[in-house]
């Protein structure tokens, strides 16, 4: 694969001063002295690393392993599918029925109009970035396993975090592209020849990695800010993965574990503040150039014209009368002539230019676990239990208890609740439409170019050219 070939030196050096590695190996020792100058042990607060050296020496010292992990989380926050700048929240928002797009970027327009080409730059960037992070995680896994100086506890903690990253990135890839390679090695020769494996096998590997990660890591959070991956974060993704693979008992049990150990934020206006009690994992801005979230900066409309995104009419129309989420989680802007009013996501309200960090970018929060448990209980025939979970979320939003009282009605109610709860959050809406088999029904009337093949994105054509083992291309491209 191209992404693995282009990064085959990551286990030696990811970045040097002013260029690639050309010096004799002896010069590596000099760079040990300046290794990870800009990193710190707070995984999410780290500034962009200027020089990242990953070698056997790295895995003999806990602080440098922490810096290697910091670099991974920094890249998650700043780039690729998870970033609040051009990740799933916006791209899958315009791909589904959440957002309208008003910009001029041809790659974004392809996504918005369901004309995605195999040469789409966003698709290639997501694929490449994900496998870059997977490669880096594999390097940490293999490095700490052979370390002499790290304690067993340190090895398990670091390996657990790296396994989570590997499982998480593959979970996003499989949902977007279908069958994909599952990369578990840093051997670039092998990686250049990998083949795609069936979706069910990908999920088996994801679950194996996450179960191991949850076992290796503890549940403590020394920062008190939920910015470090721990066992609870791995369990949150496990619960989602069990749900996606229709393992209802396991999904219910895992969600129940998290619900027992976390508390729902009862104030609807505080859910997305950095101190929210329901946050399981969030990205902390670096505290230097960006004080708050990319999400607020991207979605809040300052003036019309000039907007890039706005909530669709169908999204605004999905809210029931009296739903506090419409009042507190959306905003509106009107043009100077008074003729145009647009609504925008207002979950994150503090802009980047503000000096105090009021909000962090939330990746996993407890509300999802309530709705995972509600859906699992519905399939298991526990109608009353499912209603109780659903009502917890509805009541917080100022709504009455659900009237759904049978399996089909409850599943419809849960899908609707997920729509108004998770809009513009990491592609939840698209993944829900796809996995629950209603994407065609909901999107075909509002997306003129909708085709059945749109359930998957195309494999980037450059990857197919470099590694023919990745063929065939996904249907329809």
Q: How many domains, the chain?
A: 1
CATH number at residue 358: 1.25.40.390
Alpha-carbon 65 to chain mean position: 23
* Helix (H), strand (E) counts: the chain: 20, 6
pLDDT the model gives residue 16 = 25
Please report whether residue 367 resides in a domain.
Answer: yes
Whole-model pTM: value is 0.88
Q: Is 363 helix (H, G, I), strand (E, B) or coil?
A: strand
pLDDT the model gives residue 306 = 94
Q: Considering only 27-36, 175-184, 313-322, 405-414, which range has the smallest mean pLDDT?
A: 27-36
Give the whole-number percent of the chain exceeding pLDDT 70: 86
Containing structural domain, residue 266: 98-103+219-436
pLDDT the model gives residue 18 = 30
Please report whether residue 375 resides in a domain.
Answer: yes
What span, in angstroms and rounded, lies between the C-alpha atoms of 431 and 436?
A: 8
Comparison of pLDDT for 230 and 355, the residue scoring more: 230
pLDDT digits (tens, 9 = 90+) for 28-51: 333 333 333 333 333 333 333 433
pLDDT the model gives residue 24 = 34
pLDDT digits (tens, 9 = 90+) for 428-463: 999 999 999 999 999 999 999 999 999 999 999 999
Tokens (6 digits) for 85 = 């700048």
Please report whether residue 320 resides in a domain.
Answer: yes
Please report whether residue 428 resides in a domain.
Answer: yes
Please report whether residue 341 resides in a domain.
Answer: yes
Please report whether residue 326 resides in a domain.
Answer: yes
Residue 20: other Cβ atoms inside 10 A:
9
Kindly tell me if the per-residue pLDDT of 1 is higher than 50: no
Please report whether residue 171 resides in a domain.
Answer: no
The DSSP secondary structure of 403-428, one letter per residue, reads ---SHHHHHHHHHHHHHHHHTTSTTH
Alpha-carbon 164 to chain mean position: 12
**Helix H or strand E segment including 280:** strand 279-283
């Amino acid at each position: 694969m191209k992404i693995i070939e282009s990064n085959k030196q990551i286990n030696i050096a990811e970045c040097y001063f002013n260029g690639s590695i050309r010096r004799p190996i002896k010069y590596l020792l000099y760079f040990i002295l300046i290794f990870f100058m800009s990193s710190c042990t707070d995984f999410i607060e780290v500034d962009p690393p200027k020089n990242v050296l990953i070698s056997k020496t790295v895995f003999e010292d806990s602080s440098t392993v922490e810096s290697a992990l910091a670099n991974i989380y920094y890249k998650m926050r700043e780039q690729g599918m998870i970033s609040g700048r051009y990740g799933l929240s916006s791209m899958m928002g315009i791909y589904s029925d959440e957002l309208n797009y008003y910009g001029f970027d041809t790659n974004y327009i392809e996504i918005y109009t369901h004309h995605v080409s195999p040469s789409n730059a966003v698709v290639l960037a997501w694929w490449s970035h994900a496998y870059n992070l997977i490669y880096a995680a594999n390097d940490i896994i293999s490095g700490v396993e052979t370390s002499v100086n790290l304690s067993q506890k340190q090895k398990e903690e670091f390996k657990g975090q790296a396994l989570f990253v590997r499982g998480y990135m593959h979970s996003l890839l499989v949902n977007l592209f279908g069958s994909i390679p599952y990369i578990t090695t840093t051997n670039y020769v092998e990686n250049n020849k990998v083949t795609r494996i069936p979706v069910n096998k990908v999920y088996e590997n994801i679950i194996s990695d996450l179960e191991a990660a949850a076992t290796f890591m503890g549940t403590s959070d020394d920062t008190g800010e939920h910015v470090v991956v721990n066992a609870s974060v791995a369990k949150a993704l496990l619960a989602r993965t069990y749900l996606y693979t229709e393992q209802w008992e396991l999904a219910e049990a895992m969600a129940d574990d998290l619900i027992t150990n976390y508390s729902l934020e009862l104030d609807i206006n505080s859910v997305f503040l950095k101190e929210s009690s329901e946050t399981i994992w969030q990205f902390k801005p670096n505290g230097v150039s960006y004080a708050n979230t990319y999400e607020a900066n991207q979605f809040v409309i300052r003036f019309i014209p000039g907007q890039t995104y706005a909530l669709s009419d169908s999204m605004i129309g999905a809210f029931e009368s009296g739903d506090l989420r419409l009042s507190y989680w959306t905003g509106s802007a009107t043009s100077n002539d008074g003729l145009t009013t647009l609504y925008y996501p207002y979950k994150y309200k503090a802009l980047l230019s503000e000096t105090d960090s009021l909000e962090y970018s939330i990746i996993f929060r407890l509300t999802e676990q309530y709705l995972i448990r509600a859906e699992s209980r519905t399939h298991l025939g526990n109608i009353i239990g499912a209603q109780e979970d659903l009502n917890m979320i509805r009541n917080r939003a100022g709504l009455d208890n659900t009237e759904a009282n049978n399996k089909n009605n409850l599943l419809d109610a849960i899908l609707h609740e997920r729509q108004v709860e998770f809009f513009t959050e990491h592609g939840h809406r698209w993944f829900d439409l796809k996995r629950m088999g209603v994407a065609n029904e909901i999107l075909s009337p509002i997306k003129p170019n909708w085709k059945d093949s749109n359930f998957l994105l195309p494999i980037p054509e450059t990857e197919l050219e470099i590694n023919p083992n990745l063929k065939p291309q996904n249907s329809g491209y």
